Amino acid sequence: MSELNQPARVRFAPSPTGHMHLGSARTALYDYLIARQTGGQFILRIEDTDRKRFVEGAEEELMKGLRWLGLEWEEGTDVGGPYGPYRQSERKALYAKYARQLVENGHAYYCFCTPERLRKVREEQQSRKEDAHYDGTCRDISLAEADRRIEAGEKHVVRFKTPREGTTTVHDMRRGDITVENRKIDDYILVKSDGLALYHLAVIVDDHLMKVTHVVRGAEWLPTFPLHGMIYRAFGWQEPEFVHLSVFLKPSGKGKMSKREAGQLMKDGRSIFVKDFEDMGYLPEALVNWIALMGWSYDDHTEFFSMQDLIEKFSFEKVNPSPAAINFTKLDHFNGLHIRNLSVSDLAKRIKPFFVKAGYDPDDELLLNITPLLQERMRTLDEAVEKAAFFFREDVVPLPEDLVGKKLTANESADVLEEALKTIAGLTVFDVEALEQPLRNLVEELGLKAGQVFGILRVAVTGQKVSPPLFESMEIIGKEKSIERIMQGIALLREIDG
Partner RNA sequence: GCCUCCAUCGUCUAGGGGACUAGGACGCAGCCCUUUCAAGGCUAAAACGGGAGUUCGAAUCUCCCUGGAGGCACCA
Region 146-205 residues binding RNA, contact defined as CB under 7 A: 155, 157, 174-176, 178-181, 184, 186, 189, 192-194, 196, 198-199
Rounded Cα gap, residues 469 and 487, in angstroms:
20
Residue 337 interacting with RNA (CB under 7 A)? yes
Q: Which is it for strands 214-218 and 241-245: parallel, antiparallel or unpaired?
A: parallel
Residue 342 interacting with RNA (CB under 7 A)? no
Instruction: Please give the helix or strand (H or E) that residue 100 lies within, else none.
Output: helix 92-105
Residue 323 interacting with RNA (CB under 7 A)? yes
Rounded Cα gap, residues 253 and 497, in angstroms:
55
Tell me which residue of 267, 265, 223 sits closest to 248, measured CA to CA. 265
When the beta carbons of 105 and 169 are compared against RNA, the nearer one is: 169
When the beta carbons of 133 and 494 are compared against RNA, the nearer one is: 133
Q: How crowded is residue 132: how many other Cβ atoms within 10 Å of its Cβ?
A: 14
Backbone angles phi, psi at 44, to 5 degrees: -105, 115
- Min dist. Cβ of residue 498 to RNA (A): 28
- Min dist. Cβ of residue 180 to RNA (A): 5
Q: Say which DSSP state 198 is in.
A: P
When the beta carbons of 184 and 357 are compared against RNA, the nearer one is: 184
Please, which contacts does 264-268 make with residues 24 or more away whose CB atoms are closer than 8 Å? none
Which neighbouring-strand residues pair with 216? Answer: 243
When the beta carbons of 357 and 465 are compared against RNA, the nearer one is: 465
Contacting RNA (CB under 7 A), which of 268, 299, 365, 394?
299
- Min dist. Cβ of residue 251 to RNA (A): 7
Catalytic residues: 259
Part in contact with RNA (CB under 7 A); list of ranges 46-54, 259-267, 357-365, 481-489? 46-54
When the beta carbons of 235 and 471 are compared against RNA, the nearer one is: 471
- Total site size for RNA, rule CB under 7 A: 90
Q: Are residues 219 and 245 in contact, defined by beta-carbon separation less than 8 angstroms?
A: yes
The pattern of x and - marking residues 265 through 294 that bind RNA according to CB under 7 A reads ----------------------------xx
Which residues between 363 and 402 bind RNA (CB under 7 A)?
A: 376-379
Amino acid at 178: I
Which neighbouring-strand residues pair with 170? Answer: 178
Grouping H, G, I as helix, E, B as strand and the rest as coil, residue 16 is coil
Contacting RNA (CB under 7 A), which of 132, 262, 368, 421?
132
Which residues between 442 and 471 bind RNA (CB under 7 A)?
A: 450-451, 454-455, 458, 465-471
Contacting RNA (CB under 7 A), which of 101, 182, 297, 369?
297
When the beta carbons of 171 and 364 are compared against RNA, the nearer one is: 171
Part in contact with RNA (CB under 7 A); list of ranges 136-144, 214-222, 271-279, 348-356? 214-222
- Min dist. Cβ of residue 287 to RNA (A): 14
Upper half-sphere CA count for residue 464 (Cβ side, 13 Å) = 15
Which residues between 77 and 106 bind RNA (CB under 7 A)?
A: none
Which residues between 240 and 259 bind RNA (CB under 7 A)?
A: 246-247, 249, 253-256
- Min dist. Cβ of residue 112 to RNA (A): 8
When the beta carbons of 311 and 337 are compared against RNA, the nearer one is: 337
Part in contact with RNA (CB under 7 A); list of ranges 35-43, 59-67, 102-110, 125-133? 125-133
Grouping H, G, I as helix, E, B as strand and the rest as coil, residue 364 is helix
CA distance readout (Å), 3 to 147, 177, 241, 404:
44, 17, 9, 70
Which residues between 49 and 68 bind RNA (CB under 7 A)?
A: 49-50, 52-53
When the beta carbons of 47 and 495 are compared against RNA, the nearer one is: 47
Rounded Cα gap, residues 158 and 106, in angstroms:
12
Grouping H, G, I as helix, E, B as strand and the rest as coil, residue 273 is strand
Which neighbouring-strand residues pair with 256? Answer: 249
> Positive or negative CA dihedral for 46, 50, 51, 52?
negative
Q: What b/e sequence results for 74-97 when a residue is b if at least 16 CB atoms lie within 10 Å of its CB, and e otherwise?
A: ebbbeeebebbebbbbebbebbbe
